[in-house]
């Protein structure tokens, strides 16, 4: 069972999230708290694998709580949750250590999917966030000749985008009609060109530059 802690200051939201998570089994909500300070205090006692963290919390923000939680308990993965669909907020949450970000409007469809991605060691950004970035991505592509993404080949951009969306090497290989080993080669090359070291850093880069598309 995947152990999940919910952090949101609205009781009805926490109850709705619990129903979604426990509907099909495989996940158990070990705690529900309404503020960041309590979440930090109970993390050691409850020992969750995943913390679903609202960005807008009373007192300590979800961003600050995530930063402290990841410092104190680096093994815990954080999935950001928010009403806001703002690229700067998403970036701040990921910079704080969250491995994924979903909106509350998409939680019904994306909550379990996001948690499973994080447990598998991948990142996850919901389609609502990706859609927000589409216009920015199109605008940036026009002036990309001097950007970091311009260092990448067309295939490397495709692989980078799919990795940042949380897809595995076999899934990318199937989508692009190439072998998983070729995906790994492209991944190593793009990481070297961008001076990145893991998929979390790649996702941050993709959001910052608008590389992720719906």
| CATH code where residue 181 lies | 3.40.50.2300
Q: How confident is the model at residue 105 (pLDDT cuts 50, 70, 90)?
A: confident
75 and 114 assigned to the same domain? yes
Q: Count CB neighbours of 174 within 10 A.
A: 13
User: Residue 126 pLDDT more than 90?
Assistant: no
Task: Assess if residue 17 is contained within a domain.
Answer: yes
d(CA 2, CA 72): 20
Q: Which residues have a Cβ under 8 Å from the Cβ of 158 and sit 6 or more positions away?
A: 176
112 and 155 assigned to the same domain? no
74 and 143 assigned to the same domain? no
Which tokens go with 41?
């205090």
41 and 145 assigned to the same domain? no
14 and 106 assigned to the same domain? yes
Q: Which domain holds residue 153?
A: 131-209
Q: Which one, of 124, 123, 130, 54, lies nearest residue 87 by Cα?
A: 130
Task: Assess if residue 6 is contained within a domain.
Answer: yes
113 and 185 assigned to the same domain? no
pLDDT score at 18? 93
Last residue within a domain, chosen from 90, 125, 160: 125
Q: Which one, of 158, 165, 167, lies nearest residue 186 by Cα?
A: 158
47 or 109, greater pLDDT: 47
Global pTM value: 0.70
Last residue within a domain, chosen from 107, 125, 143: 125
Alpha-carbon dihedral sign for residues 84, 87, 88, 93: positive
Q: How many domains in the chain?
A: 2
18 and 109 assigned to the same domain? yes
Task: Assess if residue 68 is contained within a domain.
Answer: yes
34 and 72 assigned to the same domain? yes
Task: Assess if residue 214 is contained within a domain.
Answer: no
User: Residue 162 pLDDT more than 70?
Assistant: yes
Q: What is the mean pLDDT of residues 42-64?
A: 94
77 and 113 assigned to the same domain? yes
99 and 12 assigned to the same domain? yes
Q: How confident is the model at residue 144 (pLDDT cuts 50, 70, 90)?
A: very low
120 and 135 assigned to the same domain? no
Last residue within a domain, chosen from 125, 142, 160: 125
Q: Which one, of 58, 42, 37, lies nearest residue 4 by Cα?
A: 42
189 and 169 assigned to the same domain? yes
Q: Which residues have a Cβ under 8 Å from the Cβ of 98 and sit 6 or more positions away?
A: 53, 66, 78, 79, 80
């Amino acid at each position: 069972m995947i152990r999940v802690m919910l952090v949101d200051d609205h009781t009805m939201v926490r109850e709705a999230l619990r129903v979604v998570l426990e509907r099909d089994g495989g996940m158990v909500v070990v705690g529900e708290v309404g503020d960041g300070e309590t979440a930090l205090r109970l993390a050691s006692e409850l020992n969750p694998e995943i913390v679903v963290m609202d960005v807008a919390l009373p007192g300590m923000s979800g961003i600050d709580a995530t930063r402290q939680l990841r410092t104190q308990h680096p093994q815990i993965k954080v999935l950001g949750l928010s009403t806001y669909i703002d690229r700067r907020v998403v970036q701040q949450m990921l910079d704080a250590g969250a491995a994924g970000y979903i909106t509350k409007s998409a939680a019904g469809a994306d909550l379990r999917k996001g948690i499973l991605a994080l447990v598998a060691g991948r990142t996850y950004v919901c389609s609502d966030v990706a859609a927000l970035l589409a216009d920015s991505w199109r605008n940036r592509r026009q002036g990309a000749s001097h950007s970091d993404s311009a260092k990448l080949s067309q295939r490397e951009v495709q692989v980078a985008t799919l990795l940042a969306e949380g897809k595995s090497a076999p899934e990318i290989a199937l989508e692009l009609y190439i072998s998983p080993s070729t995906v790994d080669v492209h991944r190593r090359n793009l990481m070297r060109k961008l001076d990145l070291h893991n998929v979390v850093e790649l996702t941050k880069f993709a959001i910052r530059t608008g590389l992720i598309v719906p």
